Amino acid sequence: MAETHKKPHVIFIPFPLQGHVIPAVHLAIKLASQGFTITFINTQAIHHQTSNALPSSEPDIFAKVRESGLDIRYTTVSDGLPIGFDRSLNLDQFTAALLHVFSAHVDEVVGQIVKSDDSIRCLIADTFFVWPSKIAKKFGLLNVSFWTEPALVFSLYYHMDLLMINGHFACQDCREDTIDYIPGVKAIEPKDMVSYLQETDTTSIIHQLIFKAFNDARNADFLLCNTVQELEVETLSALQAKMPCYAIGPIFPNGFTKSFVATSLWSESDCTQWLDKKPHGSVLYVSFGSFAHVAKKDLVEIAKGLSLSKVSFVWVLRPDIVSSDDADPLPGGFEEEVADRAMIIPWCSQRAVLAHPAIGGFLTHCGWNSVLESIWCQVPLLSLPLLTDQFTNRKLVVDDWKIGFNLSDGKFVTKEEVCYNVKRLMSGKSEDGFRNTIKEMKKTLENALSCNGSSEKNMARFVKDLRTKISEKMKPVDRSVCTGSQNH
């Protein structure tokens, strides 16, 4: 009888935040459909939140996908904190756990999986983790770093040393002039760097994590980026000269709005019937993603500006949008004032909302998934970056690609500019240019995902390169470290 060959088995660990888990889930499915066995490991806290958000209880999020024949297994790991701990309110403690404690739990669970299955060959872990190279080396696995933001952002972090030497980062009086020495990045203003590279105190816990993670990422065997070659040609070419790097985005579920895997951390409110009654392109969608907080005074100005604009809108207001200890941050009377033309909800299926013909604009924090989804749905953006890569993403959206504009040009948001810019975005006049440009960009994304498109080719190349490296690794590996056996 012919010997049956086991599929190569990959362990996939996403960063425990919504904007990272979503593309990781869909990448895991893509890889499984390319003939890999995947063990996907969520933190217990993410698992708990996702399960609570589901209307029905399934054994795990991949149960339906498995029915279609894909071999995706699922397990959980502790991030070092109690499940019910408020990570949003205590971000420093959460970051500290990910920096100092999480790797011990990952080490244990990966060790158990490796011990029980000798086909494990590879670890895919988010670039923001500080431990992948250590864990991969210990268990003899290939190390794939998964990057969920633009390549431009990766490049800035990767070249932190250059920014320091040139006095643009981590110095007393940082330079404020244009940065023009990062390989593959023509020019970028300091204000457009990720927020952490603009901060003067670089001793914070998040900086410790970033320094360690990007040091570690240099050791990865492969870098997978949720971006598109054509959108970031020069940056990606420069990165490819440093490490094997593959632009395989945008990573969406097959069919875009329909996903067999429930990934939301909050229950989704259904806006379809409400949107069905609205004219084409007449509704503004407002959401600031899953992670960043909006200052209360800005939130109040946004609410007042939306009210003044008379535009219809769907506003996703997460329970912790200002802070999880401020349950009711909206100005008094606002909800009654806008009741006839607004839907205010804690969470929704964003892809379904953006794809609805009634949506004509997106007021966004410029999270990278939101940017890619908005381009896919050809919805122009009004941008209010709040944290992390969102400042750099804003530059791409507004200055480079010209598919949207800024909500505010000052340091603080005012209701007048909110009203003015919302009306400008939704009027259908001034943003006609944006609509044509975004149509072209949608085509670029579609082409990238088509049979001979860049992302599909890059994915095929990655799979081939990974398989080649795996076969090289098939030579016997010393796994004594996993079984705990000692040399006497």
Contacting residues toward ligand UPG, per CB under 6 A: 17-20, 22, 148-149, 264, 287, 289-292, 316, 347-351, 367-370, 373, 388-390
User: Residue 332 burial (CB < 10 Å; 0-12/13-18/19+)?
Assistant: exposed
CB of 453 vs ligand UPG, minimal distance in Å: 21
CB of 316 vs ligand UPG, minimal distance in Å: 4
CB of 247 vs ligand UPG, minimal distance in Å: 15
Give the DSSP H or E segment for 217.
Answer: helix 205-217
Q: By C-beta, is 89 or 241 nearer to ligand UPG? A: 89
**Sheet containing strand 404-406, strands side by side:** 342-345, 312-316, 283-287, 359-364, 381-383, 404-406
Q: By C-beta, is 114 or 448 nearer to ligand UPG? A: 448
Spatial distance between the Cα atoms of 345 and 319, rounded to a whole number of angstroms = 9
Q: By C-beta, is 298 or 373 nearer to ligand UPG? A: 373
Phi, psi (degrees; rounded to nearest 5) at 259: -130, 135
CB of 248 vs ligand UPG, minimal distance in Å: 15
Q: By C-beta, is 114 or 445 nearer to ligand UPG? A: 445
Two tokens at 401?
């690609």
Q: By C-beta, is 261 or 316 nearer to ligand UPG? A: 316
Looking from the CA of 389 toward its CB, the CA atoms found within 13 Å total 26
CB of 202 vs ligand UPG, minimal distance in Å: 20
Two tokens at 233?
């040609």
Long-range contacts of 446-453 (CB under 8 A, 24+ apart): 447/230, 448/228, 448/229, 448/230, 448/249, 448/250, 449/250
Q: By C-beta, is 36 or 252 nearer to ligand UPG? A: 252
Strands 222-225 and 245-247: what pairing?
Answer: parallel
CB of 18 vs ligand UPG, minimal distance in Å: 5
Residue 251, phi-psi category: left (phi > 0), alpha (psi -120 to 50), beta (remainder): beta
Spatial distance between the Cα atoms of 117 and 61, rounded to a whole number of angstroms = 22
Q: By C-beta, is 369 or 383 nearer to ligand UPG? A: 369
Spatial distance between the Cα atoms of 39 and 16, rounded to a whole number of angstroms = 16
Amino acid present at 319 = P
Residues 234/184, Cβ–Cβ less than 8 Å = yes
Residues 28/58, Cβ–Cβ less than 8 Å = no
Q: State the CB neighbour count (10 A cutoff) for residue 104.
A: 11
Q: Give residue 25's Cα distance to chain centre.
A: 11
CB of 309 vs ligand UPG, minimal distance in Å: 21
Q: By C-beta, is 20 or 87 nearer to ligand UPG? A: 20
DSSP conformation class of 395: I
Q: By C-beta, is 32 or 316 nearer to ligand UPG? A: 316
What residues does 145 pair with on adjacent strands?
Answer: 125, 223
CB of 390 vs ligand UPG, minimal distance in Å: 5
Q: By C-beta, is 60 or 149 nearer to ligand UPG? A: 149
CB of 381 vs ligand UPG, minimal distance in Å: 11
Q: By C-beta, is 47 or 121 nearer to ligand UPG? A: 47
Count of helices and strands (H, E) across the chain: 21, 13
Spatial distance between the Cα atoms of 240 and 226, rounded to a whole number of angstroms = 15
Spatial distance between the Cα atoms of 272 and 404, rounded to a whole number of angstroms = 25
CB of 58 vs ligand UPG, minimal distance in Å: 18
Q: By C-beta, is 18 or 421 nearer to ligand UPG? A: 18
